[in-house]
């Protein structure tokens, strides 16, 4: 393979084709069927070299911009997190109730936490958990997360039926999901990494 090609992480699985992606930290990930040889994978990467270099460059630029923004904004303090949790505990339960009524579902407890990886979750018993850092995102994004978790009361998966259900209440959920990924990553880094720099 071309010496100029970047390192990559190979993930083999039960799939039919080779796929490539660049994760948010700028690492090239190759997903391939178990039966495909290393030579075939590297030939595929040579074919896609210009795409890979272009998108790696864009992602690394985005990472630099994100790090600069995080440095400018500074870390989210423990006091700020507590204030966000208190505010969320007042604001979220009525909104959860409103959307549960629209969807025709019931639910158990509503718990507010601060978490590194999840924005929300729904247990098999219907207990809902929300990350208080959501309060730093736009209200429409918060509503998307509420609806997402409530839809698990009907579909405990991420099937086509699940996303149809989400879309029946939040038609532009794809755009909001992207906002959650992009802006949410900055918030998570400010909460859990910015203070360690």
Give per-residue burial for 45-79: e unless 16+ CB within 10 Å, then b: beebeeebeebeeebeeeeeeeeeebeeeebbeee
Confidence of residue 131 (pLDDT cuts 50, 70, 90): very high
User: Do 62 and 109 share a domain, yes or no?
Assistant: no
Q: How many whole angstroms separate alpha carbon 31 and alpha carbon 163?
A: 24
Q: Is residue 82 part of a domain?
A: yes
- Residue-wise pLDDT for 17-45, tens only, equals 998 888 777 788 999 999 989 889 889 99
User: Do 124 and 48 share a domain, yes or no?
Assistant: no
- Residue-wise pLDDT for 132-157, tens only, equals 999 999 999 999 999 999 999 999 99
Q: How many whole angstroms separate alpha carbon 108 and alpha carbon 127?
A: 4
User: Do 61 and 29 share a domain, yes or no?
Assistant: yes
**CATH code for the domain of 141:** 3.30.2010.10
Other beta carbons within 10 Å of 93: 13
Q: How many whole angstroms separate alpha carbon 151 and alpha carbon 145?
A: 10
Q: How many whole angstroms separate alpha carbon 129 and alpha carbon 90?
A: 14
């Amino acid at each position: 393979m071309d010496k100029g090609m970047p390192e990559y992480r190979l993930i083999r699985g039960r799939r039919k084709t080779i796929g490539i992606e660049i994760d948010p930290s700028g690492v090239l990930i190759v997903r391939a069927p178990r039966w495909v040889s290393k030579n075939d994978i590297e030939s595929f990467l040579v074919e896609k070299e210009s795409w890979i270099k272009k998108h790696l460059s864009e992602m690394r630029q985005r990472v630099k911009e994100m790090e600069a923004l995080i440095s400018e904004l500074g870390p989210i303090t423990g006091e700020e997190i507590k204030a966000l949790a208190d505010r969320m505990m007042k604001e979220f339960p009525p909104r959860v109730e409103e959307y549960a009524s629209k969807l025709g579902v019931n639910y158990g407890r509503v718990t507010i936490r601060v978490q590194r990886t999840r924005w929300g979750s729904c247990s098999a018993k219907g207990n809902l958990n929300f990350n208080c850092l959501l309060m730093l995102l736009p209200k429409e994004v918060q509503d998307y997360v509420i609806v997402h978790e409530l839809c698990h009361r009907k579909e405990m998966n991420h099937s086509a039926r699940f996303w149809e259900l989400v879309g029946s209440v939040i038609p532009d959920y794809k755009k909001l999901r992207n906002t959650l990924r992009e802006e949410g990553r900055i918030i998570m880094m400010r909460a859990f990494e910015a203070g360690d720099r």
